[in-house]
Amino acid sequence: MAKLVLIRHGQSLWNLHNLFTGWVDVPLSQQGIQEAIQAGKKLKNEPFDQIYTSTLIRAITTAMIVMSENASGKVPIIEHDDLDAQHNDFMKIYSDAARINSIPVKKAWQLNERYYGELQGMNKDETIAKFGEAQVKIWRRSFDVPPPRGEALKNTAERAIPWFQKHIEPALQIGKNILIAAHGNSLRSIIMHIEQLTETQVLELELQTGVPVIFESTGSKIQRI
């Protein structure tokens, strides 16, 4: 039996200021840091084998803070697949003991937040005043209607779910315990796949910042606990 833990990053500075964030690389707020610490305490005794994050600093930081509280004593090591061969070799670990005591952290753009297009950086209340509450609700809460030059939840699901099927499901099937730190919409997409939610049901799914969602995997079945 393996465990899968999904966690939406802690509150970011743009969450704090009520701005559409999307792919803009904004760090955690003080509250977000505290949320990640509390999540780490809840997950203290979970022995993770692999960690995955989006490419955005708020998700990466959340994962690192969570692991700073972990009782395993293992060290999360961020992998950089964007380096050329020479510089990638610079990150090689030559100590067997250090390698055994590390957990690989892989970044995946497919886990990035939904791209909000021309709404990115705009205040949500001011956006309602400009475009009307009904239109903004359609952009935010419909499954397949994107904001101007942005992604709908459907588009996010189309990248997040195949990535999950390719990289995570096989690892769970061989008993790997996995932590994924990502974003509200990419994680909603993954949960939609796991729990076979309809397009209407996934729109009602809310994930709080910094709160872990835990699943158990037994072979081909993944179930929330």
80: annotated active-site residue: no
199: annotated active-site residue: no
Which position among 113, 151, 183, 193 bears the catalytic label?
113
Joined together, the tokens standing for residue 138 give 């359609």
CB neighbour class for 35 (10 Å; exposed up to 12, middle 13-18, buried from 19): buried
Q: CB under 8 Å, gap of 24 or more: what pairs does 81-88 form?
A: 81/106, 81/107
- Between CA 66 and CA 26 the distance in angstroms is 18
Residue tagged 């009602």 (tokens): 204
- Between CA 205 and CA 86 the distance in angstroms is 44
Which position among 9, 35, 151, 193 bears the catalytic label?
9
178 and 51 Cβ atoms separated by less than 8 Å: yes
Tell me which residues are annotated as active site. Answer: 9, 113
